[in-house]
């Protein structure tokens, strides 16, 4: 079988170094290196001694960026021992005969043209997406192009790929005051109890602390509403509370934040309160006071009627679901149907505790922002690669855009794009290199991204603003409403 001379040269070079070693081969387009790629490559490297990666040339379907740029990105990954431009995958495998050919788990049930070739010479074709955690330090070292003396690092390559600037984002933030936003969801009060560590108990192996300070913050859907208002938009907020002192605190804070709330009192529950006992900037213990049962039919009907009555002229509806009972499925479906009638943009975030929660129950959204774990729980898929998970979730919810939040690994942005010449998926790193409290990252991401999209900005610009908002939010302890000035400072620095 004939191969181009440059491919034969690669084979001759590889043959010299493979003696007595197990060679693993992976191929792909690698348009934008994202965490899913890194997990697969680490998995492949752990399967053998030498990892060889073939980067598809420009003739392969879906190869959108220049092949030299894609090759450079793969070579920057330390797990890769050898990378080159690949012209014909099957022919290369037939001649080179790698011991293992590794593909993503999502290909396992599909037709794999390499399978017969690998079987014939006695190799193995294996599938795997890698573990759910990995270290992306190699990629991060290549990501930054400019020095920044704050703890927030802003990648510039992403802006160039998608054709927008920092000034564009400043204009977007300035326009957010024109929006009219409705938020529905579970409100939470977060209490931080700072303690002095006294030592170990003499009676039993227990750490003994003494509380020295207590601070409360609005959390859950409440901080989502506060972020939106602090960024200038007009807000209507719907939530359920108990009749207790925690609800009294929320009412007072809503006045301070200048938010117009619709409270629905449920005597069968207490207002959700989450306490964090901290010492030396570390959380020692979390205590949650909550009920998770759904609100009754009467409350659902009242909430729905009030919701419909204020929908006219709204630009955006945000579902902030913590699965504490404020948003039963029947109520969600009725609200979504009303928004669709009025062509109102909807976004959703549904946080899961343990195995409770299903973000896929929010249909026809413009944006959904689950964590990777939440997405996998909703799909019952713990094996597929990240892009496959995002696309499955997009399809099952009939939503336009998915942002998978990956904690310290950043974001995977997956969009509904029918143009084969445009990237449907991209990634952003976690921009804050020294986070202090990550609890509010998802809420600030959701708010800034969805508000930008409500202003008809692209998913790419909106996601960047969301990532920057999250970077600002995690740079401090506690849920404090994000404001435009903080974003301006970072965009102008």
CATH number for the domain spanning 40: value is 3.40.50.620
In a domain, 413, yes or no: yes
pLDDT attached to residue 421: 64
* pLDDT at residue 215 in the model: 87
In the chain, the N- to C-terminal Cα span, in Å, equals: 57
Radius of gyration of the CA atoms of the chain, in A: 25
HSE on the CB side for 456, CA within 13 Å? 1
Nearest to 403 by CA among 419, 388, 418, 414: 414
How would DSSP label each residue in 31-78? SS--HHHHHHHHHHHHTSSEEEEEEE-TTSTT--S-HHHHHHHHHTST
Residue owning tokens 């348009």: 31
Q: Over pLDDT 70: what percentage of the chain? A: 92
Q: Work out the mean pLDDT of the chain and round it to a whole number.
A: 88
Residues 179 and 59 in one domain: no
Task: Kindly report which listed range (137-151, 222-236, 401-415) carries the lowest average pLDDT score.
Answer: 137-151
150-177 mean pLDDT: 91
User: Strands 273-279, 100-103: parallel, antiparallel or unpaired by DSSP?
Assistant: unpaired
Same domain, 179 and 136: no
Whether residue 317 has pLDDT greater than 70:
yes
> Same structural domain for residues 188 and 106?
no
pLDDT in tens, 337-352: 999 999 999 999 998 7
187: domain CATH number is 3.40.1190.20
372-411 core/surface letters (b: 16 or more CB in 10 A; e: else): bbbbbbbbebeebbbbbbbbbbbeebebbbbbbbbeebbb
Range name among 184-198, 275-289, 375-389 with the lowest pLDDT average: 275-289
Choosing from 111, 143, 175, the residue where a domain stops is: 143
Q: What is the mean pLDDT of residues 4-31?
A: 80
| Strand ranges for 322-389 from DSSP E | 345-350, 367-368
Question: Quick one: average pLDDT of 320-329?
Answer: 94
**137 vs 359, which has greater pLDDT?**
359
Query: How do residues 372-423 score in pLDDT, each as one tens digit?
Result: 999 999 999 988 889 999 999 999 999 999 999 998 899 999 998 766 667 7
The beta strand positions in 67-177, using DSSP E, are 82-86, 100-103, 124-127
Residue 382 phi/psi, 5-degree rounding, is: -115, 10
- The tens digit of pLDDT for each residue in 28-69 reads 999 888 888 888 998 899 899 999 999 999 888 888 888 898
In this structure, how many other beta carbons lie within 10 angstroms of the beta carbon of residue 95? 16
Among 143, 178, 206, the domain boundary falls at 143
Contacts of 418 (CB under 8 A, 6+ apart): none
170 and 117 housed in the same domain: no
Distance from chain centroid for Cα 92: 36
Examine the domain organization and report whether 132 and 163 are in the same domain: no
In a domain, 447, yes or no: yes
- Output 489-492 pairs: Cβ under 8 A, ≥24 positions apart: 490/150, 490/152, 490/154, 491/166, 491/169, 491/170, 491/173, 492/166, 492/170
- Please report whether residue 407 resides in a domain: yes
Asked whether residue 298 is domain-assigned, the answer is yes
More confident residue, 133 or 330: 330
- On whether both 139 and 165 belong to a single domain, the answer is no
Look at residue 10 and tell me whether its pLDDT is greater than 80.
no
Q: Higher model confidence: residue 458 or residue 280? A: 458
Number of folded domains in the chain? 2
Q: Is residue 148 part of a domain?
A: no
Q: Closest Cα to residue 136, out of 39, 44, 70?
A: 39
Residue 33 burial (CB count, 10 A): 20
Least reliable range by pLDDT among 111-120, 218-227, 461-470: 111-120
Specify whether 114 is located in the same domain as 219. no
Question: For residue 144, is pLDDT > 60?
Answer: no
Domain boundary among 94, 115, 143: 143
Helix (H), strand (E) at residue 166: helix 166-175
CA 363 centroid distance within chain = 18
Same domain (yes/no): 84, 190: no
**pLDDT, tens digit, 9 for 90 and up, residues 105-139:** 888 888 898 899 999 999 999 988 654 433 333 33
Quick check: is 152 in a domain? Answer: no
Kindly state whether residues 179 and 81 are assigned to the same domain.
Answer: no
Residue 321's alpha-carbon distances to 128, 187, 351, 444, in angstroms, are 32, 9, 6, 14
pLDDT digits (tens, 9 = 90+) for 94-103: 888 999 999 9
The CA distance from 429 to 408, in Å, is 8
SS3 331: helix
Q: Which domain holds residue 350?
A: 157-492
pLDDT interval class at 3 (50, 70, 90): low
Burial of 107 (0-12, 13-18, 19+ CB in 10 A): middle
Say yes or no to pLDDT of 186 above 90: yes
Judgement on whether residues 129 and 253 belong to the same structural domain of the protein = no
- 319 and 354 co-located in one domain: yes
Tally the C-alpha atoms within 13 A of residue 264's C-alpha that lie toward its C-beta.
26
Residue 135 and residue 248 in one domain:
no
Which residues lie below 8 Å from residue 429, measured CB to CB, with a gap of 6+?
A: 136, 139, 140, 143, 153, 155, 409, 410
Domain-embedded: residue 376: yes
C-alpha span between 137 and 148 (Å, rounded): 18
Asked if residue 150 is part of any domain, the answer here is: no
Distances in Å between the Cα of 454 and the Cα atoms of 169, 428, 440, 447, 470 are: 14, 21, 21, 10, 18
Q: How many of the other CB atoms lie within 10 Å of CB of 301? A: 12
């Amino acid at each position: 079988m004939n191969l181009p001379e440059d491919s034969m040269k690669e084979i001759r070079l590889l043959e010299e170094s493979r003696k007595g070693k197990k060679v693993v081969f992976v191929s792909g387009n690698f348009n934008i290196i994202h965490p899913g790629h890194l997990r697969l490559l680490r998995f492949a490297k752990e399967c053998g001694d030498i990892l060889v990666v073939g980067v598809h040339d420009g003739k392969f379907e879906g190869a959108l960026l220049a092949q030299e740029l894609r090759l450079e990105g793969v070579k920057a990954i330390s797990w890769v021992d050898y990378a080159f431009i690949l012209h014909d995958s099957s022919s290369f495998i037939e001649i080179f005969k790698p011991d293992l050919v590794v593909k993503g788990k999502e290909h396992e049930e599909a037709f794999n043209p390499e399978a017969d070739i690998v079987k014939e010479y006695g190799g193995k074709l294996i599938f795997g997406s890698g573990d759910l955690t990995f270290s992306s330090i190699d990629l991060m070292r290549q990501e930054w192009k400019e020095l920044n003396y704050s703890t927030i690092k802003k990648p510039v390559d992403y802006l160039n790929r998608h054709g927008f600037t920092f000034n564009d984002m400043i204009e977007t933030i300035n326009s957010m005051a024109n929006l009219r936003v409705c938020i529905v969801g579970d409100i939470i009060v977060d209490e931080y109890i700072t303690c002095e560590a006294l030592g170990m108990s003499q009676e039993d192996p227990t750490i003994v602390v003494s509380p020295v300070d207590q601070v409360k913050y609005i959390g859950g859907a409440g901080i989502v509403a506060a972020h939106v208002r602090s960024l200038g938009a007009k807000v209507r907020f719907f939530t359920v509370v108990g009749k207790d002192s925690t609800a009294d605190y929320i009412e007072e804070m809503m006045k301070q934040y200048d938010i117009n709330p619709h409270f629905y009192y449920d005597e069968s529950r207490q207002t959700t309160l989450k306490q964090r006992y901290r010492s030396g900037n570390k959380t020692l213990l979390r205590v949650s006071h909550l009920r998770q049962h759904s609100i009754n039919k009467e409350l659902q009907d009242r909430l729905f009627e009030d919701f419909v009555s204020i929908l006219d002229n709204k630009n955006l509806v945000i579902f902030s679901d913590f699965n504490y009972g404020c948003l039963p499925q029947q109520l969600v479906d009725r609200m979504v149907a009303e928004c669709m009638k009025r062509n109102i943009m909807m976004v959703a975030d549904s946080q899961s505790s343990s195995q409770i929660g299903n973000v896929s129950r929010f249909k026809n959204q413009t944006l959904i922002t689950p964590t990777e774990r939440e997405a996998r729980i909703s799909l019952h898929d713990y094996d597929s690669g990240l892009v496959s998970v995002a696309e499955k979730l997009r399809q099952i919810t009939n939503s336009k855009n998915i942002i998978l939040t990956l904690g310290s690994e950043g974001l995977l942005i997956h969009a509904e794009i029918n143009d084969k010449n445009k990237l449907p998926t991209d990634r952003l790193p976690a921009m804050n290199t020294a986070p202090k409290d990550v609890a509010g990252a998802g809420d600030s991401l959701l708010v800034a991204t969805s508000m930008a999209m409500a202003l008809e900005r692209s998913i790419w610009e909106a996601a960047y603003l969301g990532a920057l908002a999250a970077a600002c939010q995690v740079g401090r302890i506690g849920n404090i409403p994000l404001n435009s000035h903080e974003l301006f400072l970072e965009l102008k620095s």
